[in-house]
């Protein structure tokens, strides 16, 4: 029974370790390279809520934005 418990604990730890490594992989790949990203975003939305007395409120919105981000690999920040 003890052997089964040890094997079960080892399997859970191995699967957890594999999951955490795979989960962190995209972030690790992103930090290894130098990159420049530029995004232009535009969109619109609308809604039409109505209360219990039949009053309708029409809401419309437009969103336009620009985002620029740059990263350099190998930057280390230390605290003293």
| Cα(69)–Cα(65) distance, integer angstroms | 13
Q: How many domains does the chain have?
A: 1
pLDDT at 36 over 70: no
pLDDT of residue 7: 93
Q: What is the pLDDT of residue 9?
A: 93
Confidence of residue 71 (pLDDT cuts 50, 70, 90): low
| Residue 64 lies inside a defined structural domain of this protein | yes
* Whole-number Å distance between alpha carbons of 28 and 13: 22
Of residues 48 and 71, the one with the higher pLDDT is: 48
Is residue 51 included in any domain, yes or no?
Answer: yes
Q: Residue 32 sits in which domain range?
A: 2-71
Domain-embedded: residue 80:
no
pTM over 0.75: no
Is 78 inside any structural domain?
no
Domain presence at residue 77 = no
Per-residue pLDDT tens over the stretch 11-25: 999 999 999 888 888
């Amino acid at each position: 029974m003890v052997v089964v418990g040890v094997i079960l604990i080892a399997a859970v730890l191995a699967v957890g370790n594999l999951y955490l490594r795979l989960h962190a992989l995209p972030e690790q790949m992103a930090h290894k390279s130098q990159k420049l990203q530029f995004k232009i975003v535009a969109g619109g939305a609308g809604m039409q809520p109505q209360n219990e007395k039949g009053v309708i409120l029409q809401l419309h919105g437009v969103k336009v934005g620009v985002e620029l981000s740059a990263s350099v690999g190998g930057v280390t920040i230390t605290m003293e």
